[in-house]
């Protein structure tokens, strides 16, 4: 009979399986590398929603530990800030795009509702298996929903690029830097385009603003006043029905995302992780609820960390315990958080331009990899209508509740696909 956790056999070379471990020093080094890999996206997502990035990083560590415990230390994953929440949080809170989000409590209540729905889906999967999810959301649906998220967020990125030619130019150069680093760099640098691109944009803005006076200077006074050690900035949730209905459907996206990640890990390691799928969903759901209860973003398994595993072939789950502990340590440094908040808005806009574009393109990638046949009217209409609803931010009012563009696109894609089944079959 297997124990609660693996025995983690020592392995000093070659591929390291989830139930194997590296020597202590190498485990710590790999854990730090995973923190670096997740950092750019985990810090950027809360900034785009007006959340405190330090708090989000802190809860990413908490969430990763929850995931580790609930999967019995058998599924290697890091849980970071999910970009799927950005559009619905902005819609629910009316966030203007810069500074702290004054209505963060309303968003947190919605995030908790999403986490609860996600947990319940995981509970059903644990009992009934994953087949029903794959039938409910085939690749045409999941690809459409993911692409709709990116298109829905496009106006946010464009608005953040700035109102002056200098600000817009710096934002576009930041996006270019991310692209060049991603395409032309190798090794560790090639896996950190968001982080390194942000540093390039930051340096460029500092020269233009603080050095030449062409834009509003970066204010470092908050960094000097912040303490080196202190508690993260926790916030309390507010449970508003409209916001909860708007944000909860993101659970569908998280399910599709997590499902794909677990399948990817199975392909990389040669192991069958399907028996852990339900527990993975439940763990992610609980982690999202815990994060929302304290002021953090919704969390999800991270493709960035899967990329590190694919390159290093080190899948030991103990590495992610180290990564989680490092994230917790960063969360207890207000000075570190204050430094992140000095990131200029045009630079954030440039990063968002790339990230949101990649989200939209990922939907197309799902279609291509799954060989979705767009000569079939069923697929074509499902994608076309849902993408237009998402890009145009189609908002529906139902019994006093409002469903924004992402929610409309998500449910629209699912409903259309299944409603058109008989017509397609008759054809």
- pLDDT, tens only, 282-330: 999 999 999 999 999 999 988 778 777 876 788 999 999 999 999 999 8
Res. 1 pLDDT band, cuts 50 70 90? very low
Span 269-292, average pLDDT: 92
- The answer, yes or no, to whether residue 233 has pLDDT greater than 50, is yes
Per-residue confidence (pLDDT) for residue 2, from 0 to 100: 60
Going by C-alpha positions, the residue among 217, 230, 251, 263 that lies closest to residue 334 is: 230
pTM of the predicted model as reported, rounded to 2 decimal places: 0.78
What's the CA gap between 191 and 11, in Å, rounded?
Answer: 25
Between 5-14, 51-60, 123-132, 179-188, the lowest mean confidence (pLDDT) is in 179-188
Q: Give the residue with greater pLDDT, 298 vs 39.
A: 298
* Helices 318-331 and 24-49: angle between axes, nearest 10 degrees: 50
- The answer, yes or no, to whether residue 399 has pLDDT greater than 60, is no
- pLDDT tens, 405-427? 777 888 899 899 999 975 545 55
Res. 180 pLDDT band, cuts 50 70 90? very high
Per-residue confidence (pLDDT) for residue 188, from 0 to 100: 60
Unique residue bearing structure tokens 């990230």: 355
Per-residue confidence (pLDDT) for residue 424, from 0 to 100: 46
b/e per residue 290-301 (b: at least 16 CB within 10 A): bbbbbbbbbbbb
Span 185-190, average pLDDT: 69
What's the CA gap between 349 and 352, in Å, rounded?
Answer: 5
- pLDDT tens, 71-104? 999 999 999 998 888 888 988 898 887 788 999 9
Going by C-alpha positions, the residue among 98, 170, 123, 214 that lies closest to residue 353 is: 170
- pLDDT tens, 155-172? 878 888 878 899 999 999
């Amino acid at each position: 009979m297997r124990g609660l956790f693996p025995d983690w056999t020592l392995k000093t070379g070659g591929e390291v399986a989830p139930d194997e471990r590296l020597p202590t020093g190498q485990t710590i080094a790999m854990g730090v590398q995973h923190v670096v890999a997740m950092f750019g996206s985990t810090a950027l997502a809360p900034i785009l929603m007006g959340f405190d990035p330090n708090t989000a990083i802190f809860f990413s560590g908490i969430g990763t530990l929850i995931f580790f415990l609930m999967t019995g230390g058998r599924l290697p994953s890091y849980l970071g800030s999910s970009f799927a929440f950005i559009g619905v949080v902005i819609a629910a809170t009316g966030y203007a795009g810069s500074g702290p989000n004054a209505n963060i409590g309303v968003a947190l209540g919605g995030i908790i509702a999403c986490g609860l729905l996600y947990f319940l889906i995981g509970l059903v999967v644990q009992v009934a298996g994953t087949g029903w999810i794959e039938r409910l959301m085939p690749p045409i649906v999941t690809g459409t929903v993911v692409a709709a998220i990116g298109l829905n967020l496009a106006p946010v990125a464009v608005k953040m690029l700035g109102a002056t030619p200098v600000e817009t130019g710096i934002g576009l150069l930041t996006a270019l830097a991310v692209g060049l680093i991603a395409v032309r760099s190798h090794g560790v640098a090639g896996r950190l385009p968001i982080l390194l691109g942000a540093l390039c944009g930051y340096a460029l803005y500092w020269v233009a603003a603080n050095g030449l006076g062409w834009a509003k200077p970066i204010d470092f006074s908050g960094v000097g006043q912040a303490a080196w050690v202190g508690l993260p900035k926790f916030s309390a949730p507010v449970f508003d029905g409209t916001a909860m209905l708007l944000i909860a459907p993101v659970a569908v996206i998280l399910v599709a995302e997590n499902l794909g990640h677990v399948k990817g890990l199975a392909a990389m390691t040669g192991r069958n992780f399907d028996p852990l799928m339900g527990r993975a969903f439940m763990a992610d759901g609980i982690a999202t609820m815990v994060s929302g209860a304290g002021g953090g973003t919704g969390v999800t398994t991270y493709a960035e960390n899967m990329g590190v595993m694919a390159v290093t072939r080190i899948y030991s789950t103990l590495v992610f315990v180290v990564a989680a502990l490092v994230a917790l340590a960063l969360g207890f440094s207000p000075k570190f958080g204050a430094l992140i908040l000095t990131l200029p808005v045009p630079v954030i806009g440039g990063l968002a331009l790339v990230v949101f574009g990649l989200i939209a393109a990922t939907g197309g990638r799902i279609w291509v990899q799954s060989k979705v046949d767009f000569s079939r009217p069923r697929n074509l209409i499902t994608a076309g209508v849902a993408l237009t609803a998402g890009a145009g931010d189609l908002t529906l009012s139902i019994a006093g509740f409002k469903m924004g563009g992402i929610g409309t696109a998500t449910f629209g894609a699912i409903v259309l696909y299944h409603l058109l089944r008989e017509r397609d079959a008759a054809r």
